[in-house]
Structure 1
Amino acid sequence: MDDKGYASEEAYVQLEDETKSRWAHSECGCLDSGLPWCLQNLCPCCIACSFGRMAEVANVGDMGTCTAGLLCGVFVGVHVCGAPVLPCIQTVRRGLVQRYNIDESFGCSLLHTLCCPALAIAQMLQEVEERENGKFSAVGKWTPNQTVVYTTAAIESRE
């Protein structure tokens, strides 16, 4: 506290750092959700749609732009022509880091995107499933979990 009773700038920085979260799944945790999840979300035919829908669900991009960029890279070959793919992945990843207040630097995000784009996408898909309470399935289909909330009146009427 300073002489006027206000918290110091260091206290605000410390508080901000304490509220940072971590990724729910590790970079190599693509099998955390099981092999069928991996196959239906990360196969070359489905990854672009899943990625685009994920950006849309998390509100960090629109499906059309992300899907088009990723499809272009997948069909041309990510290793031959990664230019359309990597900026889109990096932009969405940074959007997720900011939206969910994840403790990850720009450089760390860039390394994940450049070294293992498919694993980075898997991690992002799993994060959105966890945070937005839903599931992705083949061809980018998003299914939100249905939570049933019973009121006291509804419970009493059932008895």
Structure 2
Amino acid sequence: MAYQQNQYVSQQPMPTMGMQASGGNRNALNRPLDSNGKRGWSHGLCGCFDECGTWCCACWCPCVVHGKNKQRLRHLTDKGTPDPTGGDCCSGACWGHCMLNVVAGLGCILACMNRGDARSRYNIDGGCCGDCCASWCCHSCDLTQVSREIELEEKSFGQRY
């Protein structure tokens, strides 16, 4: 039996004619990857003040920002393109967040789950515990950070949505 050497691939294959990429650039700011292929968030949790409009809406109407984030992320995942509407204000995710927040003050649970979905899509390092802490301790900053991450991918398509 002959000894067989492992061949290592140093680069991922490039798309060829006829292939379609699913989605836009998921690391638009070219954040460095760690040894596990994970990266950090493109904007820090406290960078929410750089996007005052989204942050203010997340403070006073977190259900709207959550609903939009959920719908925009789902559209990118399912269709591979940005949602042309930018996410509806009164979606089921918005109402679910609103009811959970009004009845029990626990809207951050749904935001935590959506944060985990965004982390998974963008290969962002972290875990459920960190997602829960961010959503519970600074709900509006969490919603803004997720929104900004989605926006970077949407902008990478080169079209205004």
Q: TM-score range by the shorter chain?
A: 0.5 to 0.7
Q: Tell me how far 1:44 sits from its aligned partner.
A: 2.0
| Alignment size in residue pairs | 122
Q: Tell me how far 1:37 sits from its aligned partner.
A: 4.2
Instruction: State whether structure 2 residue 83 is matched by structure 1 residue 67.
Output: no
Q: Larger helix proportion, structure 1 or 2? A: 1
Q: Distance in 2 between matches of 1:24 and 1:86?
A: 21
- Which one has a bigger Cα radius of gyration? 1
Q: Distance in 2 between matches of 1:5 and 1:111?
A: 46
Q: Tell me how far 1:50 sits from its aligned partner.
A: 2.3
Q: Distance in 1 between matches of 2:108 and 2:142?
A: 11
Matches within 5 A, 1:23-102: 23-33=41-51, 35-39=52-56, 41-45=57-61, 47-59=62-74, 64-76=91-103, 81-83=104-106, 85-102=107-124
Per the normalisation by structure 1, the TM-score is 0.62
Instruction: Sort the Cα spacing of 1:43 and 1:111 in 2 relative to 1 into closer, same or farther, 3 A.
Output: closer
CA displacement, residues 34-85 of structure 1 (integer Å, 9 cap, x when unaligned): x34433x32423x312221111111179973321122124444xxxx233x1
1:42 is aligned with what amino acid? A
Per the normalisation by structure 2, the TM-score is 0.61
Q: Distance in 2 between matches of 1:108 and 1:6?
A: 38
Aligned-residue identity in percent:
22
